[in-house]
Chain A
Amino acid sequence: MRILPFGEGALVAEFPALDDVLAHFAALSASPPPGVTELVPAARTILVTFAAPASTAVVRQWLEQTAPHDAEASTAEDSRDIVTLEVDYSGQDLPAVARLLGVSEAEVVRRHQHCVWTAAFTGFAPGFAYLVTPENPLQVPRLAEPRTRVPAGSVGLAGEFSGVYPSASPGGWQLIGRTDARLWDAAREQPALIAPGTRVRFRAV
């Protein structure tokens, strides 16, 4: 783990792989010292923000000394229902994704539906989940030039992740389709349709 200062009120811990992030996040979120305000896991990092009485020294020591939870144990028992999202696979980057992977567009769509995806972490915007799948057969780089506006419901790919934009926002993921599912609904008891650990399947309509 490498710990870097991020302004005077935050630290970032860097890890070699997503599994390390999730194992440390599970342990850290169970034991925050007073003054820690936010703990945000991402692909290779955990962001920690804090205010008094916490200090850089206290938070750094806590990060270094908290043993990670066994990631296997924490996810194996996850028996949540699978959320199925219906997708119109006519995203504007589908041809480019097929080209990048050297397969047909139909094969991209087949693979995307065939995989069972799991939300590794959430963030970016309310309701946005970073979905992973074992040995992801759909790894493509993000766009060179991000779009200033991606419509709500857009289904995208970037690196080891797939995801759905819950609301219109700027975005740099390769868009392969669109869903009408409401990823975020403030009126629901659980506003986010997909929480960390939720399993997701996509189905073409």
Chain B
Amino acid sequence: MAFEILEPGLATTVQDRGRFGYYNVGIPQGGAMDALSAEMANALAGNTPAEAVLECTYMGPRFRTDDAAVIAVTGAPVDVKVNGGARGEWSRLELDAGDEVSFGILRGGTRFYIAVRGGIDVPVVLGSRSTYGLGGIGGLGGRPLRAGDLVPVGNGAAPDGSEPPQEIDPGLRPVFEKEVSVRVMPGLYDHRLTARGMETLLGATWTLTPVADRTGLRYSGPEVEWEPRQQPFGAGSDPSNIVDAGYAVGSIQIPGGKEPIVLHRDAVSGGGYAMVATVISADMDLLARSAPGTKTRFRSVSMDEALAARAHQRSLRARLWGSGD
């Protein structure tokens, strides 16, 4: 079976949990930006967490299914319509052959997810179905959906025959706020900022600019002060330059001391800007949910706090999937 794309939306891509082991050739992990929302869509549709879903950005697609299907929509708040009639997010939706699904305007956040029982069945490329646009791989032809695309859907039953949830407990659903506090660990190159520069990074309220995509998110705010420095040869003369090094997902760089950039799941694997702090992995979804204009504070946490946050994420997922891990 397949979904026929009538209107593609702004940037609708196929994503799963990502592609690992190719970062050293410049291919990032990718995968759903708001991983927890994508997982919840899969849970509702009766899939395993590994199935590929559609990630919709700002403006969703309009599509028709050629067969009966079980779908779920999660993530940023949006009106879901089936044949023009209002349906809800965060719950299981049954479609008949020929049904048309469309979406209203986002009421907050940036991305929502559509899962379908059986998963989006595009070929696996380097271990993943995720679309990586810059490299032109994964998904449908390595690109966002276009009108006229037929998006293949796999034949899947619910894993081990268990009945998937009818809806996600409201207490478990992510929230989409206009003000967020994001936890970071200072380093690697935090010593390159002056004490005042670090205070600015951690004390200021930053505003997410519209320059925000799967690669990274850019924030506006006050200027951050760097230590004056004789640069090593080969590094640029910008005080934030370093000799090229690998970038972890979540790392924050501040080229020229202005407008911090947080790298996200389609991060470039390396470059020549000092990484002054790293967003903890548990808060990467939070960034993915932020809409431009979101007021953002970066709060410093210790390694122990970061690990505790990661453990908390695992326990959330365990509740979602009703298993030990």
Contact = CB atoms under 8 A, between A and B. Distances in A.
Please provide the 10 A-B residue pairs with the shortest distance between their CB atoms, ordered closest to farther: A159-B234, A47-B246, A7-B278, A8-B306, A40-B246, A142-B236, A126-B135, A38-B23, A186-B136, A10-B248
Interface in A172-201: 172, 184, 186, 191-192, 195
B101 interface: no
B238 interface: yes
B40 to A, nearest CB: 20
A44 B25 contact: no
Interface residues of B, number: 50
Max count, chain A CB within 10 A of own CB: residue among B132, B187, B243, B275: B243
Contacts of A5: 185, 187-188, 303
B307 A159 contact: no
B306 A12 contact: no
Contacts of B281: 7-9
Max count, chain B CB within 10 A of own CB: residue among A8, A10, A38, A56: A8
B271 interface: yes
Interface stretch (B71-79, B153-161, B202-210, B250-258): B250-258
Given A123-B269, A172-B272, A144 B236 contact: yes
A90 interface: no
Contacts of A167: 134
18 contacts: A7-B279, A8-B280, A9-B248, A10-B248, A10-B278, A37-B21, A40-B23, A43-B243, A121-B24, A123-B25, A124-B271, A126-B135, A142-B235, A142-B241, A146-B238, A159-B235, A161-B234, A169-B134
A193 B271 CA distance: 20
A141 B268 contact: no
A53 to B, nearest CB: 11
A9 B310 CA distance: 10
A139 B234 CA distance: 7
Contacts of B247: 47
B185 to A, nearest CB: 5
A89 interface: no
Given A125-B268, A186-B135, A186-B136, A141 B23 contact: no
A125 B26 contact: yes
Contact of B27 (A37, A43, A126, A158): A126
